[in-house]
Amino acid sequence: MRKKIVAANWKMNMTQAESADFVATLLLELGEVSDVEVVLVPPFTALAKVTEALAKSQNVKVGAQNMHWERSGAFTGEISAEMLRDLYVRYVVLGHSERRQLFGETDEIVNRKVRAAHEAALRPIVCVGETLQQRERGSVEKILSLQLRGSLTDLGPKELAETVIAYEPIWAIGTGQTATTAQAQEAHAFIRHTLCEISDEATADRIRIQYGGSVKPDNARALMTQPDIDGALVGGASLDARSFAEIVKGAQDLP
């Protein structure tokens, strides 16, 4: 049984005050959710505020949007896994397509970060996904396989089982153009098949695979009902506490 995981990727949005308001509304809207893991992923500058605002909540965790792979040193502008741990951060999004496309992150860099995250007991959410061009050329599986194998190199079964994969087709991010449930399920099944090749069936069965790309309250549940879709990584619709709460509720009471 894989527990559903729904994460709010705020990207470069939300001040401390806005974050605190968001958490207060979210907790009111959600009440106690125990069958869904909820993760808020604010910018670095709001991490402490979100943790503080969540003090009374058992079920909502905090994640970061990025980190550096070294523990400390002369890396101006960077943040280490230990620093995130120091702020009670539990998850870290790595290899988001915006980091790959705008900041030149390669699978090798993502892999260094993934390994450093595990060493610090942070759980990585590793993003993979194809461009529209790659989909039209029929190379979705090739791209996903390369990204997964490159980003997950040298991880043991325990680390893999504690890694979350986010399948985010780049053409669906922020465009309002969601993948159909069939397209998403097909990609997720392929990802699980690849994870099985990288490790073994028992491990692959434990790894949670989120879908991301224009997830909204009205399409989230249908996506998360698919057998290999174990949750959602939500961008735009996660900036509003009520709409994010609706998406979380859509993940409740699913097999």
List active site positions. 96, 168
* Residue 83 CB neighbours (<10 A): 18
Asked whether position 213 contacts ligand PGA by CB under 6 A, the answer is yes
CA distance 109 to 115: 10
Asked whether position 129 contacts ligand PGA by CB under 6 A, the answer is no
Q: Which stretch binds ligand PGA (CB under 6 A): 42-50, 131-139, 218-226, 233-241?
A: 233-241
- Considering only CA atoms, which of 162, 101, 156 is closest in space to residue 126? 162
How far the first Cα of the chain sits from its last, in Å, is: 8
Query: Which of the residues 146 through 185 are near ligand PGA (CB under 6 A)?
Result: 168, 173-174
Alpha-carbon dihedral 184, 135, 166, 46, rounded to 10 degrees: -120
Asked whether position 212 contacts ligand PGA by CB under 6 A, the answer is yes
Q: How far is the CB of 126 from ligand PGA (least distance, A)?
A: 12
Q: Which stretch binds ligand PGA (CB under 6 A): 84-92, 114-122, 131-139, 229-237?
A: 229-237
In the three-class reduction of DSSP (H, G, I as helix; E, B as strand; rest coil), residue 138 is classed as: coil
In the three-class reduction of DSSP (H, G, I as helix; E, B as strand; rest coil), residue 189 is classed as: helix
User: Residues binding ligand PGA: what is the number (CB under 6 A)?
Assistant: 13
Quote the DSSP letter at residue 46.
Answer: G
In the three-class reduction of DSSP (H, G, I as helix; E, B as strand; rest coil), residue 4 is classed as: strand
Q: Which stretch binds ligand PGA (CB under 6 A): 61-69, 111-119, 140-148, 209-217?
A: 209-217
Instruction: Convert residues 7-36 into a mask of x (bound to ligand PGA by CB under 6 A) and - (unbound).
Output: --x---------------------------
**Nearer Cβ to ligand PGA, position 50 or 198?**
50
Residue 59 burial by Cβ neighbours in a 10 Å radius (0-12, 13-18, 19+): middle
Residue from 233, 241, 248, 251 binding ligand PGA (CB under 6 A):
233
Binding residues (CB under 6 A) for ligand PGA: these are 9, 168, 173-174, 212-215, 233-237
